[in-house]
Structure 1
């Protein structure tokens, strides 16, 4: 659809556009703060603690640090919980479709125009294969739940769990040493690590709560057609700002709608 850019409405002063752009920029800085803290925690655990105090750590602190280190390797690259949940859903649906299609195959869609005899055989074959596919899917889901379930939980909620573990260790505070020498630095080193991980967990939860606002924001004062445009504009602006905080500068809803040819929804 051809649109004259000179006739486009200037929406730079619209409340919706201002709120979305500022929200996207704020979320991008929040994500960078979480990733930065994750990098500090990962560096602190691997270089300082595990390298210098590994022989002085109690077993529970050793395993806590090991867990936090493994969590940070994934968390510093992806801190968006909503996208992680979406990845899990898409992966499961793809897994189910692959099994069903691989077993049922050409019997997936029986042709109703066939004469009755072969159609009955085709339908029975289809039902048998579908039952096998569902049974196989159920078995593999149980296996995955036992083996990969804990890993999936750690991947999705790892940063939050590391924050809870850090809070627990800070409350217990039974890892320190008041002796002279190298061991005297163990307690402040552990405190620094756990405080960093706790702060990261708090910011992660804060970001998740603000992420819930994202779904409500486009619904304020807009009909259903405009909500679609606002929702997608918000999503793409936020993703762009997470890579470059200056992405929202000069960006407006009108030019985005024209570029996506989305004025058809409001016509």
Structure 2
């Protein structure tokens, strides 16, 4: 696979690396803000509202708070849509392979005729696949949507309740604090949803960053894109991940990987500076 590696960015300037690292750190701050707001929403909903005002809540608000609380328990630990979708796709593919391999193993061990065995194999596999699709459509698909887009849905629900503004709390006593407490929760969840959408849009735009740096070589763009993705994922877990990181350290990490493809990629990147 030939490539014009001499057209890789000059490491003496580090302009491209600076842009990518700054972008990754900013995305890390956004992820940290989303997780922090998620902890605030979860704490406020469970301790203040469901704990102190649960008997005063209308049914509409009770179910809204319950759904927001359940969504936050999944969303605050991982806010990366791409990784979530990738994990779910791998899990579904593995499930299908397990079904077919299990059925094939059972039927091929029988002493039936080959034609009857294959007919039974196809029939049983089709039934199992049909059952799995029904379960996927009725149970797993809604759960997957909530898991992937739960933070966004939480913001939409909060915006709807803020517009409706019919959660009571106008009487004297403890109930007078219900409306401000509800508004605080919904504003926090709405702010989290807005930051989540902004981070998603910025993530889409970030994919064009390697191309916008001026290089037209496709393989150079691939190197920069992979470096950007790994640096961004690292900064989402640790904001100091980008400190001292550049394409050379990235290549050294690749060489130390257990994957032969990563090792070859790292050697090629280092060879470009020799």
* TM-score in terms of structure 1 length: 0.84
Partner of 2:68: 68
Assess if the C-alpha contact under 8 Å between 1:41 and 1:72 holds in 2.
yes
Alignment deviations for residues 4-41 of structure 1 (CA, whole Å, 9 cap, x no partner): xxxxx962633321221111100110000000000000
The alignment partner of 1:55 has SS state of helix
Alignment deviations for residues 116-158 of structure 1 (CA, whole Å, 9 cap, x no partner): xxxxx76885575245424422321112211222111111111
Residue 94 (structure 1) aligned with residue 94 (structure 2):
yes
Residue 151 (structure 1) aligned with residue 138 (structure 2):
no
Q: How many residues align?
A: 248
Q: Distance in 1 between the 2:151 and 2:173 partners?
A: 33
Q: Distance in 2 between the 1:227 and 1:238 partners?
A: 16
Partner of 2:196: 204
Q: Distance in 1 between the 2:49 and 2:171 partners?
A: 18
Assess if the C-alpha contact under 8 Å between 1:37 and 1:196 holds in 2.
yes
Partner of 1:174: 166
Residue 264 (structure 1) aligned with residue 256 (structure 2):
no
Q: Distance in 2 between the 1:132 and 1:16 partners?
A: 55
Task: Specify every segment of 5 or more residues in structure 1 that has no aligned partner in the other structure, as ranges.
Answer: 1-8, 109-120
Does the C-alpha gap of structure 1 residues 259 and 182 become closer, same or farther in structure 2, counting only changes over 3 Å? closer
1:70-219 paired onto structure 2 within 5 Å: 70-105=70-105, 125-126=117-118, 129-130=121-122, 132-219=124-211
1:18-29 paired onto structure 2 within 5 Å: 18-29=18-29
Q: Distance in 2 between the 1:233 and 1:60 partners?
A: 47
Q: Distance in 1 between the 2:27 and 2:228 partners?
A: 11
The alignment partner of 1:177 has SS state of coil
Assess if the C-alpha contact under 8 Å between 1:71 and 1:154 holds in 2.
yes
Task: Specify every segment of 5 or more residues in structure 2 that has no aligned partner in the other structure, as ranges.
Answer: 1-8, 255-262
Does the C-alpha gap of structure 1 residues 134 and 17 become closer, same or farther in structure 2, counting only changes over 3 Å? farther
Assess if the C-alpha contact under 8 Å between 1:10 and 1:254 holds in 2.
no
236-245 or 131-140, larger mean C-alpha shift: 131-140
Partner of 1:246: 240
RMSD: 2.5
136-145 or 154-163, larger mean C-alpha shift: 136-145
